[in-house]
Amino acid sequence: MRDDDEQPVAGNGLLHRRAFIRAGAGAIGSIGAAGALAATRPEWARTPGAAMRGYGAPSPFEDHVQRVGIAAQPGTTGSGASRTPLEHLEGTITPNGLVFERHHSGVPAIDPERHRLKIHGLVKRPLAFTMADLERYPRVTRTCFLECSGNSGAMAVSPEAPQRACGELHGLVSASEYTGIPLATLLDEAGVRETAAWVIAEGDDAARMSRSVPLSKAFDDALLVLYQNGERLRPENGYPLRLLLPGFEGNMSIKWLHRLELTAGPAMSRDETSKYSDLRPDGSALLFTFPMAVKSVITTPSPGLGPLDRGTWEISGLAWSGHGRIRRVAVSADGGGSWTDARLEAPVRDKCLTRFRAAWRWDGRPAVLMSRAVDDAGHVQPDRTTWLDHHGARSFYHYNAIQSWAISPDGTVRNVYA
């Protein structure tokens, strides 16, 4: 341990990690008066505990960890979203019960026995598969993020920084281990005709959501998903079959998938024209924006967790990019005046959430925490002004600007535009 380990490496107290380990051990955990071993056993250790159960659930003491911002748009048949409470989670995999949901007409109750997947259009052999048929194909597992392109959109359109928990602002993103059949396998079996350039994927929900997927993506890493985090897809995430397009905007990963049509051109469906297309400053709209841009957010500390105490902390957050792997995340505690590299936790996966960590000592003075991610394609997360200059005031989708959390002397954490 060198003496200079505890000297800040950047303005406002960002520390060497070695210093954090030492300070952390000294701060808490010593057996003092309050922590002395109790003379009598606590009640849970005096009698045998509960019995086994068929399907587990979190501790009742963790009841406060719920999906947040659950809202269906009034006057619709179940169009709305729920968000992942990012500030309450660790690591990078989202538990299935907390994966955000986005539905355009509620969650259909699909009977797998009666469900079919059809492949037709510009193919040599139109095919229809039962779920039992699909059981027979070789599977692959892929860990990646899924983000709604509307995620964080409140920051694009609100003149004042909205005061909500981290997950309510940024929780339309999750990461899972998905298992299924490469789409290429079934396309090869159907025999794609030379004139085909697109696949139209359609869901079997009442919204009949459909999106056009370029054939290059369909043959690259598109997956027909059966399992999420080891178990069958949950109904809200597309049971019994969904499409997954790693790195692309979440909307294109069609849930409750029942039809794939090979075509020469895109369908120009509702959800790729009037919705999910990006307005530019001059009022024109970009036709398609498929990959999600490089982005990061600090989840600890953040609004939604209690006020902060002075002392040594681990800043922790998530970074991701639809273009590839995260190469670097820099963090600042003085509103972007100075930056230091955060530690990226292995494995740093392609198109997946990556956890970053940095040691910080808060001395009680006002501070502004920020994180800035860079991906291996060289994309750098922009600040909010740069994002707005590029996208214009009426843009909403694909907001990826640097998030700033201001810490007041009383320890309150607030969303600010800095």
Ligand X SMILES: Nc1nc2c(c(=O)[nH]1)N[C@H]1C(S)=C(S)[C@@H](COP(=O)(O)O)O[C@H]1N2
- Contacting positions for ligand X (CB under 6 A): 99-104, 146, 148, 203, 205, 207, 209, 236-237, 250-251, 253-256
Binding partner at 322 among Mo ion, ligand X, none, C-beta below 5 to 8 Å by kind: none
Q: Quick one: CA torsion of 384, 386, 389, 391, rounded to 10 degrees?
A: -70
Nearest distance in Å: CB 352, ligand X = 15
Q: Confirm or reject binding of residue 207 to Mo ion (CB under 5 A).
A: no
Judged by CB, which is closer to Mo ion: 10, or 148? 148
| One residue of 237, 251, 354, 400 binding Mo ion per CB under 5 A | 251
Q: Which of residues 71-130 bind Mo ion (CB under 5 A)?
A: 102
Distance CA 373, CA 319 (A): 6
Binding partner at 369 among ligand X, Mo ion, none, C-beta below 5 to 8 Å by kind: none
Binding partner at 351 among Mo ion, ligand X, none, C-beta below 5 to 8 Å by kind: none
Judged by CB, which is closer to ligand X: 84, or 403? 84
Binding partner at 20 among ligand X, Mo ion, none, C-beta below 5 to 8 Å by kind: none
Q: Confirm or reject binding of residue 148 to Mo ion (CB under 5 A).
A: yes
Judged by CB, which is closer to Mo ion: 250, or 304? 250
Nearest distance in Å: CB 397, ligand X = 10
Nearest distance in Å: CB 201, ligand X = 9
Q: From residue 95, how far is each of 147, 165, 292, 298 by CA, in Å? A: 15, 19, 22, 19
Nearest distance in Å: CB 148, ligand X = 3
C-beta nearest to ligand X: residue: 203
Q: Confirm or reject binding of residue 210 to Mo ion (CB under 5 A).
A: no
Residues 6+ apart with CB under 8 A from 22: 1, 5, 6
- H or E element in which residue 101 lies: strand 101-103
Residues 6+ apart with CB under 8 A from 48: none
Distance CA 23, CA 3 (A): 13
Which has the closest alpha carbon to 88: 130, 113, 59? Answer: 59
| Contact yes or no for 254/119 (Cβ under 8 A) | no
- H or E element in which residue 360 lies: strand 354-362
Backbone angles phi, psi at 237, to 5 degrees: -105, 15
Which has the closest alpha carbon to 86: 398, 249, 303, 294? Answer: 303
Judged by CB, which is closer to ligand X: 271, or 334? 271
Binding footprint of Mo ion on the chain (CB under 5 A): 102, 148, 250-251
